[in-house]
Amino acid sequence: MADLEQRYRALSRQFHPDYFYNASAAERRQSLERSSYLNDAYRALKNPVGRVEYLLKIEGVSQSADGSQQGGHNPKVPASLLEEVFALNEELDEIRELKAGGAPPAEWQARLESAREPIEAKRQEHESQLDLLSEKWDSGEGDRTAVLAALNERILERNYITNLLAGIEKELSS
């Protein structure tokens, strides 16, 4: 990250439109474009998850919008995560029944909060794994293909977990 920041600052000074105020219109436009690309790249790379998603995309293993994989691969969500999803969905169904039956908000909200805790812990675990795998990728250690596959799996699982948490938040806000 320190290297990224340093390179961003150096390139920003080189391409910033303020340094091209006396240049031709074409050079000013080019400076503006380069500066815009630089800012977009910096935003993508400074966010750890965005960085991994971009890496997966340029390596040809990123998800498409519908959740399918480019290249025909359809990664399987680990059974342990599927069990958690199933358990959470059952709990959400029971909570919806409580709400529909007129249970006091404190009762069903407490159950929602309780259901969120293991999913949030899983999210934090995945964030740590993403950080470790990113460091491994950056250092070049290990089998690059295996690291890339592990990064892809963590991102897919993370997206799944994020959707679960969003479902809980939706229930809390309704």
**Residue 72: predicted pLDDT:** 43
Mean pLDDT, residues 162-166 taken together = 87
Task: Please indicate whether residue 77 or residue 105 has the higher confidence score (pLDDT).
Answer: 105
138 is written with which tokens? 């950056």
Q: What are phi and psi of 58, to 5 degrees?
A: -75, -20
**Residue 64: predicted pLDDT:** 43
Please answer whether residues 51 and 45 qualify as being in contact, where contact means their C-beta atoms are separated by less than 8 angstroms. yes
Question: pLDDT tens, 76-85?
Answer: 556 668 888 8
d(CA 162, CA 35): 32
Please name the amino acid found at residue 91: E
d(CA 138, CA 129): 14
d(CA 154, CA 61): 13
Task: For residue 147, give every residue at least 6 positions away whose Cβ sits within 8 Å of its Cβ, in sequence order, or none.
Answer: 133, 136, 137
With bands split at pLDDT 50, 70 and 90, how would you rate the model's confidence at 42?
very high
Return the sign of the alpha-carbon dihedral for residues 135, 139, 140, 142.
negative
Mean pLDDT, residues 160-169 taken together = 86
- C-alpha distances (whole Å) from 3 to each of 6, 7, 32, 40, 138 are 5, 6, 23, 17, 12
- Kindly tell me if the per-residue pLDDT of 58 is higher than 60: yes
- Kindly tell me if the per-residue pLDDT of 156 is higher than 70: yes
Please answer whether residues 46 and 4 qualify as being in contact, where contact means their C-beta atoms are separated by less than 8 angstroms. yes
* 3-state class (DSSP) for residue 64: coil
With bands split at pLDDT 50, 70 and 90, how would you rate the model's confidence at 26?
very high
Share of the chain above pLDDT 70, in %: 89
Overall size of the chain counted in residues: 174
Please answer whether residues 92 and 115 qualify as being in contact, where contact means their C-beta atoms are separated by less than 8 angstroms. yes
Q: What are phi and psi of 103, to 5 degrees?
A: -60, 150
With bands split at pLDDT 50, 70 and 90, how would you rate the model's confidence at 8?
very high
- Kindly tell me if the per-residue pLDDT of 24 is higher than 70: yes
- Kindly tell me if the per-residue pLDDT of 32 is higher than 60: yes
**Residue 71: predicted pLDDT:** 43
Question: pLDDT tens, 110-133?
Answer: 999 998 898 899 899 988 999 899
